[in-house]
Amino acid sequence: MLKSSTKKNADRTHNAYGWLFISLALILISVFMFYPIGHSFYLSTMRTKGIVQQFVGLNNYIRLLQDPMFILALKNTFTFFLIQVPIMLLLGLIFATILNDNTIKFRGVFRTALFLPAVTSLVAYTILFKMMFSSEGFINNLLMNMHIIQEPIPWLLDPFWSKVTIIIALTWRWTGYNMVFYLSGLQNIPKEIYEAAEIDGAGKVQQFIRITVPILKPIIVFTSIMSTIGTLQLFDEPMNLSMGGTTSSTIGPGNSLLTLSVYIYNLSFKYVPNFGYAATVSYVIVFIVAILSFIQFKVAGDKN
């Protein structure tokens, strides 16, 4: 009995020290994560005008269905998501497979070159893209000199081409970032598997489809979910690449670059501040991310 009591006291002491050590982290997480999440949901049920708040329940969520700016922002965001994310992930997987081949020289140089855009300054690269995709910029001059086009493409002045520019910019910046995850997974695949498949007559394409993709499925699911979250929160590129920027009432020609995150910013700081309605739009992103993540897990066949 005495030993049992002593052991219980020792366990309690260890538990107390454990809680003491993690208490600061728990406090910081609660203050800077859990409280903002809960308070933002509370704000989504309020109508705010300055410091005046009025409880409106679910009226803000009902208002979304009748808000043309929100519907436009939702359409633009899903356009970027449905087009850019698959292209970026597929390119990252292809580049990772190619650069995992030991017979390719200067693999390290190519890997670094593809990853560098992910760590490039946002302001620097958006200024560069504005110069390159201007009416008399490098891209138009190159295409005209190659006789691919007869007149300059209005990359940043046309609703369609402005979306194309954003998709190109996002693909350029984040393809190498996802490639690194795929490379780490590929380097853990035994080479004997590919050698056996080659002996059985499987070509490179068959090896890619039947070996590489199934084995990398957990990493592909992870990158797809992270890319989904990042795209649905898209803010920096539309704000910096749009011709109007923060001084104009529109984001891109005809608000073609207006995304959900940009709309939240406008509701909070650009229009008459309405933090309650902005919080409502932000929770729409949360709901969409949760639904899409669930779908991606199910499509990938994750039963857990």
Q: How do the domains of the chain map onto residue ranges?
A: 2-43, 66-300
Q: Looking at residue 2, what is its pLDDT?
A: 47
- Written out in words, the top-level CATH class of the domain with range 66-300 is mainly alpha
Q: What is the pLDDT of residues 7-32, one digit of tens each?
A: 666 667 777 777 888 888 888 888 88
Residue 115 DSSP one-character state:
H
Q: What is the pLDDT of residues 95-116, one digit of tens each?
A: 998 998 888 888 889 999 999 9
Q: For helices 159-186 and 122-132, what crossing angle results, to 10°?
A: 130
Q: Is 107 exposed, middle or buried (0-12, 13-18, 19+ CB in 10 A)?
A: middle
Q: Looking at residue 69, what is its pLDDT?
A: 93
Q: Which amino acid is at 159?
A: P
* pTM recorded for the entire structure: 0.85
On whether the CB atoms of residues 238 and 159 are closer than 8 A, the answer is no
Q: What is the pLDDT along the chain (304 residues), one digit of tens a residue?
A: 545 566 666 667 777 777 888 888 888 888 888 888 888 888 888 887 767 778 888 888 999 989 999 999 999 999 999 999 999 999 999 999 899 888 888 888 999 999 999 998 888 888 889 999 988 889 999 999 998 988 999 998 899 999 999 999 999 999 999 999 999 999 888 888 888 888 888 888 888 888 888 889 989 999 999 999 999 999 989 988 885 444 456 788 888 899 999 999 998 888 777 888 999 999 999 999 999 888 888 877 655 5
Distance from C-alpha of 25 to C-alpha of 34, rounded to nearest angstrom: 12
Helix (H, G, I), strand (E, B) or coil at 248: coil
Q: Which amino acid is at 211?
A: I
Phi, psi of 50, deg, nearest 5: 70, -125
Q: Where are the alpha helices (DSSP H) in 31-188?
A: 35-43, 59-64, 68-99, 107-115, 122-132, 138-145, 159-186
Q: Looking at residue 75, what is its pLDDT?
A: 95
285: Cβ contacts below 8 Å, ≥ 6 apart:
232, 233, 260, 261
Supply the mean pLDDT for the chain.
86
Residue bearing tokens 């390119």: 91
